[in-house]
A and B are shown apart, each in its own frame.
Chain A
Amino acid sequence: MSQFLKAIGLFAAAFVSSVAVLSLAAISDPLPPDTTYRPLPTRPFSAVKADDEAQKQQVMQRQASLLNRRYDMSDRPIAGVMMSGGRKAVPGGVRVKLQSGTTWENLAEMSPDEIRQRSLLPEGFLPLPHVKQATGGQVIPDRQIDDIRRQEARDLRRFDVNFDLPDHLTPEFPPPIFLTTQPHLGDVSRGQLLTIKNFYEVMNGIITPVQMEGLRLLLTPFPQEEFNQTEDRKVAEQSTGITCLDCHANFHTNAAFHLTPDVRPQAARFRLDSTSLRGVFNQQIHGSKRSLRSIEDFTEFEQRTAYFNGDHVSATRKGVHLPDRTNQVAMMAQMQNIIDFPPAPKLDAFGRLDRARATEQELAGEQVFFGKGRCNECHVAQTSFMDNNMHDLKLERFYQVGHTFNDFVTLPDGPIKTFTLRGIKDSPPYLHDGRLMTLADTVEFFNLVLGLRLTQPEKEALVAYMLAL
């Protein structure tokens, strides 16, 4: 230690004697290159794979421990409420666990400062870590992996991690598909997962040639950061890659997740829960953070972002697919633009409840939504329950920033896009990172964050209302 103190002394002396006149900019070193860029692997594939496999059990245990500390993960559906395809019950109840000594009511009475100072924010309200933050990348749920293996003999199973949420807290699989161009047909999926092997048979006669070509491209595997042919992959065999609909299953979502491409360093990249593409025709901004202004931009740029984490340098090495903007991108966009929301028979043309069809509780919930709850100020009913804007909820008022959970650094979210609430019962988990497991959780979250002080009947009415959207 004395050597170290001597070093400080030398250091200070050097300061005093320094007569540097150069401008700071000219001599300031940048941070290390891999704070921004993806580093190349340091060892052979087989050595990395062996270590990854050895770590896997510990990785999954650590994540399960975090999830069980934060949430009640049990299988408790809402009685009699199914998702739109009728194949899965909607999970119910508040799942976020309170810190000991608090109730939702007394928490709502406290100021953000008090909650932060006493560390009383329920941990489940914090950003949710990726199952293996240091590696990150796309993680696909088992049902999708199994169906793709069966239909295409393509392997989506990672050797380093598994999907971390139980099946009952994810969307129904495969999700139904509703088309704006064929509303009279209802679900056109035939209960199948659309793949490169079956799409033509399922969709011929229903969509146009241009849409068909767009669909083919959306179902074609292309190299991706974890699924590719190089030693820098997380799947056992050299892989032909990933398709757009491997995550956006049947143009909805299967709750596959990855890390935001928009933030560095790696430890700060927050988790992203795959968003549904239903109703994307009415959406003016795309991506939680990027606010891309068209579905064409989104489709084109996802090859840089969802596929390669916003690192075009790594993409170039692994074989990036850059779809032709005026031809392929346009067709992919046209296919996505006919994907409709699921039917909501209780809503009128303005997105308001039909009084003849809605229950008393749903109507009460609508009143809260447009009144005390202030939900409608961003989730505007007339524009498919979104406002095509990004908003910053400033959750960091309630917690001390910079703490690390499972190698993920908890930092302010900043502005995030308003997501639609149409068909919302079909897409647990909730928020951009999937940190909330049920709609009841979202009500408690916004009750606290917006300082709404809703009563228990008001909270329950809001959930009932959202189930009708």
Chain B
Amino acid sequence: MRSLAQGLAVATLFASPAFAQIGNPAGTEPDTRQSAPGIPAPHQTNAQDQLFAQQAVIGGMAEVALGKLADRKAHNRAVAEFAGVMIQDHGKANEKLASLAGSARIPLPNEPDAEHKAVHARLERLSGAQFDVAYLEAQVQDHQKTAQLLQWEINSGQDAQLQRFASETLPIVLRHLRMAQDLASQIAGQTPRELAPATTGMGHQDQPRRTR
């Protein structure tokens, strides 16, 4: 498993970031300081950036906490390996996001929202194969929502660094989503639903962890 940082380097190369994000000025906050006409100064956020950072941090923290739970409780070895990937990737993403949010003075939540508390509580009560199915189901749902949230920030935000973070994180989240879907299919005894399973994607970064 390649680290998230390496994954990001690949993503950055592929996306050729010669030009920064260019948002829709209709969504710029009225109090935005500009570094050049039409270009928000660094760390100048709008409501979307702020909400994005808060929502993404809640999701990211939950990924790590649920990953730790799954690492402890998973029945299937592959599920535990997947949980390890979640702990590692989301841990790094959380740090980066916290640092960006700090620079932009966005207050971040320090406790979970009700939705993730409920998921955690439900998973606590399950064990064996039932746990694996429920964990993966929750992972699929969470990564689906996160993918949409990241896309939203890419066009709706105004803080270029947060937008770039969203751009760089999205391919990884989509890969996680596919991994969770493929694992769920595997456990249910189905063939993967796509022609290009995530586990044979872009080099090592697609490979699940081999050790526990």
Determine if B24 is an interface residue (Cβ-Cβ < 8 Å).
yes
Interface size bracket, B side:
35 or more
B36 an interface residue at 8 Å Cβ cutoff?
yes
B82-102 Cβ-contact flags toward A at 8 Å (1 or 0): 000000000000110011000
Which residues in window 381-438 of A have CB below 8 A to B? 394, 396-397, 400-407, 409
Question: Is there contact, CB below 8 Å, between A113 and B155?
Answer: no
Give the nearest-CB partner of B201 in chain A: A400
**In contact, A39 and B27 (Cβ under 8 angstroms):** yes
CB-contacts of B85-135 with A (<8 A): 94-95, 98-99, 108-122, 124
Residue on B nearest A38 in the bound complex, by CB: B26
Query: A156–B110 Cα gap in the complex (Å)?
Result: 50
Residues on the A chain within 8 Å of B120, using CB: 15-16, 18
A203 adjacent to chain B (CB < 8 Å): no
**Known contacts A39-B27, A43-B26; A32 and B111 CB within 8 A of each other:** no
CA distance A18 to B112 in the complex (A): 10
Q: Which residues of A contact B202 (CB under 8 A)?
A: 116-117, 119, 400
Complex Cα gap A27–B122 (Å): 14
Given contacts A19-B121, A48-B26, A59-B22, contact A407 B196 (CB under 8 A): no
8 residue pairs from A and B, CB less than 8 Å apart: A1-B99, A6-B110, A11-B61, A16-B124, A31-B149, A132-B24, A265-B151, A402-B174
- Cβ contact within 8 Å between B149 and A133: no
Residue from the list A10, A18, A35 in contact with B117, Cβ < 8 A: A18
Using Cβ atoms and an 8 Å threshold, which residues of chain A touch B69?
15
Q: Could you count the A-B residue pairs with CB atoms below 8 Å apart for me: how many are there?
A: 211
Give residues in B with beta carbon < 8 Å to A. Answer: 11, 14-16, 18-19, 21-30, 34, 36-39, 46, 48, 51, 55, 61-62, 64-65, 68-69, 94-95, 98-99, 108-122, 124, 145, 147-149, 151-152, 154-156, 167, 170-175, 195-196, 200-203
Provide the main secondary structure of the chain B interface: helix
Q: Which positions in A face B, CB cutoff 8 Å?
A: 1, 4, 6-8, 10-12, 14-16, 18-22, 24, 27-29, 31-32, 34-35, 39, 41-43, 47-48, 50-55, 58-59, 61-62, 65, 69, 112-113, 116-117, 119, 132-135, 160, 232, 265-268, 394, 396-397, 400-407, 409
Considering the chains assembled together, what is the distance between the CA atoms of A24 and B119 in angstroms?
Answer: 7
Given A15-B65, A51-B28, A117-B201, do A20 and B118 touch, yes or no (CB 8 Å)? yes
Closest to B19 in A: A62
Which B residues lie within 8 Å of A19 (CB)?
A: 121
Asked, given contacts A29-B113, A31-B152, A266-B156, whether A52 binds B38 with beta carbons under 8 Å apart, the answer is yes
Contacting pair A135 B26 (CB below 8 A): yes
Whole-angstrom CA separation of A15 from B116 in the bound complex: 8
